[in-house]
Structure 1
């Protein structure tokens, strides 16, 4: 059976010892309106050039001002295809596609297309969603999202792994007379459930190719990692962190939403500790007025010092 571990993006992130690091769009920090695509692509190329291992984009179908942001604004599939055309080797990730709000045949076809166009660089974070008004907008019962997530997860995998699949779910029926093409470069694409996705940890450990989680305090992270290793062995564990560099390099951390504002010295120590805990990958969302400087500072002071 095809394995997501053969995918080029997965290998870039997880086939070597130590911690790898990615950056998340919008790299310009514009998350309430439409970011400049030219500026975003230039920063993406800069991130790849200075040593980031992945570029991640979020799936936010609609803008809910009360939630606070519109994600990266552009739809994940055309956006990642555009980024793929302007980069060479960096992994491309979704953090994360909301399976409960997308038809699995569309997800399977779109993801496989991006995977093919990028020479296998796609890693697919998948989630059950967290914005309440989106469920009625898509005709989905919020209370059913756990079961819907599992059914669509299974359907996406079947569309990749099987020719003319036969399967049925709340989303529809494939009766064996239709195939979904193209197939991914490695026969499948790595799927990383995000957060709890309304599932048990046992299910995530068994079915996922890894686990993508949110920022956690360090002691909590150590506990999660210990539980994950017991359940999933060496399958990767990924977290996302918001980060802003303080002007003072010796500044102690101040809390941001899902992250920290701190001096570069503290940030360097923090990422060393993450690596010592056995974390596999960190998705960094940079805050600040000079995103190119933030990327360069992180590369010079953290990536090059590990």
Structure 2
């Protein structure tokens, strides 16, 4: 790590506090997604000050990471506006009220954002959080957003690749020009630079790319819950693509990733039942489930190679503070943060 915000570092981004707290081979940790509220909570829970207090409780309870979603526009037909506040600003607020917990985006909609702005915001949050930031990137899924930003939805995969290339260049080089269809940077530079060679980058969902591309260009992958055997195959495919990239030696970024661990993560929506032994019953992207059965399920996921699970609590019928307290007492100790 370098002390100068304008100088490149030779540090490994996977050695930064946020990554080390959240990911390790053979281990499984837990994260939570903002907003930290359930359908049983009153509106006051939405207040950013209250969210910060709940975030501190999650940190004290051993949760590894907290994630903010990037939903640029309110689209009523989707019925979901995430945590409402801009993820860069919101996570900076949370960083100021916490000290150890990793802070991630899940994920920044890269095709509709200028890659130089993303680079500057990511490096800024990385430095302001003391290396706790995990940059989750996604391709987006709301047609109204693409039209509003002058992009066709069918172009988002190509735009994702282009913006990732420019963003990576801005984060990892100093005073080196770059030209791309959307612009030309010369005799100029993006600062600050990250605390390591780059910001830990987690690919969220498919990003409209192949798994081989995600393995080559990301430090990890967070995907969606699947039927158990299907997820087992997905984990195995990810490991194979990571190994293939390592065997190929230096990638097109010029960095030799041979032998590097790249975690597999997934999301999971839960409605935590009052009965700790209640068996799982399906809900959208997850289960209504008792805590003991949740532990069993998480242990099964760890057994097939899942390294991290981001729990979403919005479907819970109990207040968020109660749910987090129960998770902290009975579930998180089985899958604690790694610091």
Q: Name the counterpart of 1:153.
A: 164
Relative to the length of structure 2, the TM-score reads 0.86
CA distance in 2, matches of 1:295, 1:271: 16
Structure 2: 5+ residue runs without aligned partners?
1-9, 244-260
Q: Tell me if 1:25 matches 2:52.
A: no
Q: Deviations over 1:141-193 (max 9, x none)?
A: 21211111001111111111101132122321112x01100011113101122
What is the root-mean-square deviation in Å for CA atoms of aligned residues? Answer: 1.7
Q: Name the counterpart of 1:288.
A: 317
Give, in angstroms, the shift of residue 2 of structure 1.
Answer: 5.4
Q: Which has the higher contact order (CA 8 A, sep 6+)?
A: 2
Deviates more, 1:144-153 or 1:242-251: 242-251
Q: What secondary structure does 2:143 align onto?
A: coil
Q: Deviations over 1:100-138 (max 9, x none)?
A: 111011101011111111001101110110011110100
Q: Name the counterpart of 2:22.
A: 13
In structure 2, do the counterparts of structure 1 residues 281 and 45 end up closer, same or farther at CA, with 3 Å as the change threshold? Answer: same
**How do residues 12-161 of structure 1 correspond to structure 2 at under 5 angstroms?**
12-15=21-24, 17-29=26-38, 35-161=46-172
Q: Name the counterpart of 1:209.
A: 219
Q: Deviations over 1:54-83 (max 9, x none)?
A: 011100001111112001111011111100
Give, in angstroms, the shift of residue 305 of structure 1.
Answer: 3.7
Q: Name the counterpart of 1:197.
A: 207
CA contact 2:280–2:287 (8 Å) conserved in 1: yes
CA distance in 2, matches of 1:305, 1:21: 10
Q: What secondary structure does 1:248 align onto?
A: coil
Which structure 1 residue ranges, 4+ long, deviate > 3 Å from structure 2?
none
Deviates more, 1:143-152 or 1:225-234: 225-234
Q: Name the counterpart of 2:178.
A: 167
Give, in angstroms, the shift of residue 247 of structure 1.
Answer: 2.1
Q: Name the counterpart of 1:301.
A: 330
Structure 1: 5+ residue runs without aligned partners?
none
CA contact 1:35–1:73 (8 Å) conserved in 2: no
CA contact 2:25–2:263 (8 Å) conserved in 1: no
Q: What secondary structure does 1:304 align onto?
A: helix
CA distance in 1, matches of 2:99, 2:26: 22
Deviates more, 1:1-10 or 1:131-140: 1-10
Q: What secondary structure does 1:133 align onto?
A: helix
CA distance in 1, matches of 2:178, 2:271: 47
Count, aligned residues = 304
